[in-house]
Amino acid sequence: MAGDHPARYDMRKDGYDTWEIFVTETGRTVFVNGKPYAKLKLDEADIYLDVLNSGDYWPDEVTVQ
């Protein structure tokens, strides 16, 4: 079940009205296809977070090290 362990990814505010997705274990910003998932609108960040935590999509390797 998804509630059995903490999510691998989360989001945090990175500006006045923008958000970033980060790896909870390292605090590093997530990169996908070389692009940081930062400076996102709240609705974008929420969607990307759901997709990453679903396990159906993976960030760049450098993010998770």
- pTM, whole model, 2 decimals? 0.81
State yes or no: pLDDT of 61 exceeds 80: no
On the 0-12 / 13-18 / 19+ scale of CB atoms within 10 A, 49 is buried
How do the domains of the chain map onto residue ranges? 2-64
pLDDT digit string, tens, across residues 36-50: 999 999 999 999 999
What residues pair up with 31 in beta bridges, in sequence order? Answer: 36
pLDDT in tens, 27-37: 999 998 899 99
Distance CA 57, CA 14 (A): 23
Return d(Cα 52, Cα 55) in angstroms, integer. 6
Left (φ > 0), alpha (ψ -120 to 50) or beta: where does 42 sit? alpha
Q: What is the pLDDT of residue 62?
A: 59
